[in-house]
Amino acid sequence: IMLVGATRILSMLGLTGPMVELQLEQHVALGLEVIITTLGAADRFVTIRRQRDRAWAQSRRFEELAERDALTGLFNRRGVEERFTGLHADGFDTMAVIDLDNFKQVNDLHGHAKGDEVLRAAALALAPDEDTLAMRMGGEEFILLLRGKDVLARAERRRQAISLRIAAEVSGLERGVTASMGLVQHPPGGALKCDFSALYSHCDRLLYEAKRAGRNRTMSEKLQSFGPRFLRNKAVA
């Protein structure tokens, strides 16, 4: 456009000899300018979108890292507790707290590196799936959230699998590693408020009952609550 415009100005000033119109050339130059500007704007838009997508992906990776246990790759407490209300509404109405028995002896006898191997093997045994979420609470304690049928049997299979997986994955242990579990089922409905901390407290109490009963076992409960209307109907009956 600048070249065509300068040529026409010089022509009108009589500096190019015969008069040069260049109208067609000017229209072509304007068309090219529009095309080039459009392509430039589109390229800039794509670049900005790529930068946004990279920033979002990086943010999501940082968020996932904050929600994951670095040692085992399982969710940490934050990763599940913040979503617990929605998870419970989606059917995850059973919580199981699992603790490795006498884990301190593993660290004392074999060192913390061997203890880390034991924890990673235990995490593999918990085998999360579509209806089972697994998290590491901290130390040697893990939590399962389950939904669907046969939740008690499924959780118990995972608890028993911990000993087998550790024996297969970790060499050099003087004795096998077992686990104890406290499990609570809390079906939706009823008058009892359900939040992560309350359900965890129930499970933790049952876990210590299992420990006191000799370890390497499960204690479980199914919570059931009734609202005032149910109680009035029972009284009338």
User: Which residues are part of the catalytic machinery?
Assistant: 140
Distance CA 118, CA 166 (A): 6
Sheet with 132-138, strands from edge to edge, namely 132-138, 141-146, 94-100, 179-185, 218-222
Cβ(64)–Cβ(112) below 8 Å: no
Contacts of 97 (CB under 8 A, 6+ apart): 137, 141, 142, 143, 181, 182, 183, 200, 203, 204, 206, 207
DSSP-derived letter for residue 80 is: H
Distance CA 121, CA 96 (A): 18
- CA 95 to mean position of chain CA atoms: 17
Q: Which of 125, 126, 123, 129 is nearest to 147 (CA)?
A: 129
Q: Which of 120, 91, 118 is nearest to 106 (CA)?
A: 118
Task: Give the sign of the dihedral formed by CA 91, CA 129, CA 141, CA 159.
Answer: positive
Tokens of 226: 């009734």
